[in-house]
Chains A and B, each alone.
Chain A
Amino acid sequence: MKPRTIVEKIWDSHVVAEKPGAPALLYIDLHLTHEVTSPQAFSMLRERGLKVRRPDLTIATMDHSTPTTSRDLPMLDTVGKAQLDQMEKNCKDFGIRLYDLKTTKQGIVHVIGPEQGLTQPGMTIVCGDSHTATHGAFGALAFGIGTSQVGHVFATQCLLQTPSKSYAIRVEGALKPGVSAKDIILAVIAKIGIGGGTGTVFEYQGSTIRSLSMEERMTICNMSIEGGARAGLVAPDDTTYQYINGREFAPKGADWDAALARWKQLPTDQGAQYAKELTLDASTLEPMVTFGTNPGMGIPISGSIPDPASMSDPIEKSDLIKALKYMDLEPGRQLKGHKIDVVFVGSCTNSRISDLRAAASVMKGRKVNPSVRMLVVPGSMQVKKQAEAEGLDKIFREAGADFREAGCSMCLAMNGDQLEPGEYSVSTSNRNFEGRQGKGGRTFLASPLTAAASAVTGVVTDVRTLL
């Protein structure tokens, strides 16, 4: 048999039917859904008199427009409230398990899937959300879909799909202190550009990736879409299996043994072909930070802001000029030392317990600079509980940061947590598009370590000076 990549193996085992002149019908093992991209799909089901075919393979959460203030307070945003109420009704009407604001397991969809053991190797996983690739950390083929496709999966548990090519991203060598998974993925995107992976699935490989924890792998897979790839994954290994074992939805007993045997067949065969390859030396990486208005506009913390004068392509040049104008930055200068107003630690990229621990390790015994507002938003209520058990909440609060309830929060600023026009943030989220964190707001993307260090000093900071 021809050597296959992990993506090809997962694909082959999920093709339900293939007809000439049409894409394959691909079976979906797990469908995650949230309040923002599902209402119109539920309406479609009602209009056509359809049911959710496999409510048992469908999981819903509330995360995007949810408040992060105390759950005991009434919700002031009536439009957001209406969306959450509709989600509750939809899940009730169609028999879908919902992690709503009252449950102890609510959280960002891409945080709770792995946390509950729902995310498993070899699965096909979709969600009406572009960061679904996060689940690829487990060796699952996980990708974002639009609302029409959400409706298709509701009705048929399938999608019409054409296969993607695999793009091998190899990261080798040891990371230096102060450099983390977030810096790896920001460096990858800075290298290939935000359209660099279009039409492909990233397979992250190499000794550095192997040495990362599951949470760090999730941070990397999460931002595959920022490199243009709909999905990104890491072949499963013992780190993966250890993480899953014992979680609520993980297979148990004989089922576990059978699952493990299946999962061990997944890694890419020797000699399988990749459409593209990239190798990165992790030992040369520094903490990364973005300066512009897309995640590809990133530089090492010691680097300087690029100069449009050095660019030949006219559109690229005008885009950089536009980005620097929006960000009110000067070319040729360092970003390090630039004054900031807000620090956000959160989002499906960096809101897991290890991220909070990293940020807390810098904050401990230090104070948030008086000119900075710092918001720490755990990715799930379980993460929050764990952080409290470890006393991380106290470290953040004593430093002067706000420690909140779980949700997407200032990652996309739908819930009232947002930047004011002109404000600068250092944010551990994944997008620095114009207005993403609030109209007129300006975002520097970075790791939790860099974010915490910058909160302390009030300026963009090289965390290595505080370690």
Chain B
Amino acid sequence: MKLEKIESKIAVLPVDNIDTDQIIPARYLKSISKEGLGEGLFRDWRLNADGTPKADFVLNKPEAKGVQILVTGDNFGCGSSREHAPWALVQNGIHAVISTSFADIFKGNALKNQLLPVVVPADAHAELLKSPWATVKIDLVAQTVTLPSGRAVEFPIDAFAKTCLVEGVDELGYMIQQEPAIAAFEAKRVGSVNTLR
């Protein structure tokens, strides 16, 4: 699958440090497949104890239908390394999260799952926070976000991750091609740890 452009209304969740336990609680981690994880997305923020939706949670609003972009506070995705977090977001149609920063492991996991972690400067972020449900365009090739005001701001992305997303490069396939280098490295390695059995 390739990912180049996203154009969508934005859902705004103005909370800093949203951790992966909120994105998907641990009790959804017993699955041995990826199926059905979407149900766990923001489970305890989204639903009441009796399973009814909380009307005031942003993704439960009628406007949230079809939203592909989530705007959040700083340091999104901190906490556990669970890749279930990006899986659950993508299963709910979210393909980009815009913030001022992301936790390292989450960012890496997102990029492997057609989910763009988009870091924008503080002023652009402030504009987005004030514009819930406005339409925003993300152009991955140009690395720009077009804000509701029409202003376009650039965002950084790892060059290799971008190539993988835009051209649909299979990262593992790329690594496997380097097998001769891996074998050579192992052969010449001094003090390698071959002591485990």
A-side interface residues toward B, CB under 8 Å?
Answer: 16-17, 21-23, 25, 27, 29-30, 36-37, 39-40, 43, 48, 50, 53, 56-57, 59, 64-65, 77, 79-80, 82-83, 86, 97, 118, 120, 123, 128-130, 144-149, 151-152, 155-158, 160, 162, 194-195, 198-199, 225, 228, 230, 249, 251, 255, 258-259, 262, 294, 296, 315-316, 318-319, 322, 412-414, 421, 431, 433-436, 439-440
Contact = CB atoms under 8 A, between A and B. Distances in A.
Given A83-B32, A258-B191, A195 B101 contact: yes
3 closest A-B pairs by CB: A146-B109, A195-B75, A39-B32
Given A315-B15, A319-B16, 16 more contacts: A16-B178, A25-B181, A56-B196, A57-B194, A83-B30, A83-B31, A97-B197, A128-B83, A129-B81, A148-B113, A149-B112, A251-B195, A296-B17, A322-B15, A414-B26, A435-B44
23 contacts: A17-B181, A21-B163, A25-B182, A27-B182, A30-B193, A36-B30, A39-B31, A56-B194, A56-B197, A83-B32, A130-B81, A145-B105, A146-B108, A148-B113, A157-B182, A158-B178, A199-B104, A225-B79, A225-B105, A228-B75, A262-B191, A294-B17, A294-B19
Nearest to B169: A22
B25 interface: yes
B166 to A, nearest CB: 13
Contacts of A30: 193, 196
A129 B82 CA distance: 7
A413 B26 contact: yes
Interface string B18-44: 010110011101111110000000001
A50 B172 CA distance: 11
Given A146-B105, A228-B103, A315 B14 contact: yes
Interface of B: 14-17, 19, 21-22, 25-27, 29-34, 44, 49, 73-75, 78-83, 101-105, 108-109, 112-113, 158-160, 163, 171-172, 174-176, 178-179, 181-182, 185-186, 189-197
A319 B73 contact: yes
A156 B176 contact: yes
Contacts of B78: 194-195, 228, 294
A427 to B, nearest CB: 14
Contacts of A421: 49
Contact of A79 (B30, B82, B172): B30
A48 B196 CA distance: 27
A13 to B, nearest CB: 9
A118 B196 contact: yes
B169 to A, nearest CB: 10
Given A148-B113, A315-B15, A155 B83 contact: no
Given A249-B196, A322-B15, A434 B81 contact: no
A40 B34 contact: yes
Contacts of B182: 16-17, 25, 27, 53, 156-158
